[in-house]
Amino acid sequence: MKRSFDEELVARLEALYPEALCGLHFEGEPWKLLVMSRLSAQCTDKRVNEISLVLFERYPTLSELADCDLSELEEIVRPCGLFRTKARDIKAACEKLRDEYDGILPDDIDTLLTFPGVGRKIANLIVGDVYGKPAIVADTHCMRLAGRFGYCEEGTKDAPKVERILKGRIAPDKQNDFCHRLVLFGRDVCRAQRPLCEECPLSDLCRSEMKKKA
């Protein structure tokens, strides 16, 4: 039986990237993913991973980070950009997680959205990577590739719209890993600038205007 476009794209990405791992190395401690995902806004995963080594060595527990000196935290996370806002949100989120949830991250998006600095991207990442629930992380890679594969208009910045579309098209049990694979493919091949169209192993699935102009 012939696969649908969605099934074909999922299968081909699975073949290209058998291991769909989160780019943030939180080492199985969910509260660390909450912190690192906040640091990742407008910052590369590589830099967040590097800074987090220093951060978690200084504050190895959730409680220690919740009780930290804000100015000291700001200096540690400064290389990630937007450091004052990020530090404030991280400290407040850790306090809330410790004091209201006994250190256990909620497993639903609506509750996670009540945490300081947590938007739908972070909430979906936590729900998918920590709890293994269906989740679409509509980050910049996901939105860009969703446009190029024809799920929405190219160049869209409407993350909630992309999330809704992909939730309706990608099988629930494939959603989380699908998004991780989009990140890997977006970094390796389908880049924002100068995508490697001539070398692309998924060019036959591409519906991008860029391909038509090539």
Q: What is the pLDDT of residue 21?
A: 85
Give me the average pLDDT of each 10-residue run along the chain (214 residues): 93 96 88 97 95 97 98 98 98 98 97 98 96 96 96 94 98 97 96 94 87 56
How many CB atoms neighbour CB 128 within 10 A? 21
In whole angstroms, give the CA distance from residue 146 to residue 91: 34
The percentage of residues in the chain with a pLDDT greater than 70, rounded to a whole number, is: 97
How many CB atoms neighbour CB 82 within 10 A? 15
Q: What is the pLDDT of residue 27?
A: 82
In whole angstroms, give the CA distance from residue 146 to residue 153: 8
- B/e letters for 3-36, b = 16+ CB within 10 Å, e = fewer, are eeebeebbebbeeebeebebbbbbeeebbbbbbb
Average pLDDT, rounded, for the chain = 95
User: For residue 121, how many C-alpha atoms fall within 13 Å in the half-sphere facing its CB?
Assistant: 20
Q: What is the pLDDT of residue 2?
A: 84
In whole angstroms, give the CA distance from residue 50 to residue 69: 21
Burial class (CB in 10 A: 0-12, 13-18, 19+), 214: exposed
pTM, to two decimals? 0.92
